[in-house]
Amino acid sequence: MIIFICFCFCYIHIYVISVLSRLFPGGVVTYKKHAWTQISDKVLSGQGKTAYKTYKKAMIACAKNAKCKGVNKSGDKYYVATGGHLTTSSGKATYVKGEDYTPYFTYDSELTI
């Protein structure tokens, strides 16, 4: 029963990501146990002042902040955003923080030959 529930959960998670990737053709990234939907030519409101050199560093900061809604990309810098409103901004992009998830893996701890 538990395996069936885990299978259903993983299937639903994969389905949600596939739907999001069709709605937002920028793509979906999974990082730090969150699904991040990339949206081109849009930014989230409430952009912070701290600039990060990589999206991974900005996502780590965002994951630690309960108010964070996503990460904005401006040029080659990334900023944490706490607002929930998207606005059009040509040449920029945003990664909207989605729900958290727990990846499930199964493996055998012993190898018998």
Instruction: Indicate the pTM of the whole model.
Output: 0.68
Residue percentage of the chain with pLDDT more than 90: 47
CB 87 within 8 A of CB 28: no
Is the pLDDT reported for residue 106 higher than 50? yes
Res 110: pLDDT: 58
Compute the average pLDDT of residues 53-78.
94
Domain ranges within the chain, ordered by starting residue:
2-100
Compute the average pLDDT of residues 23-34.
68
What CATH class does 2-100 carry? alpha beta
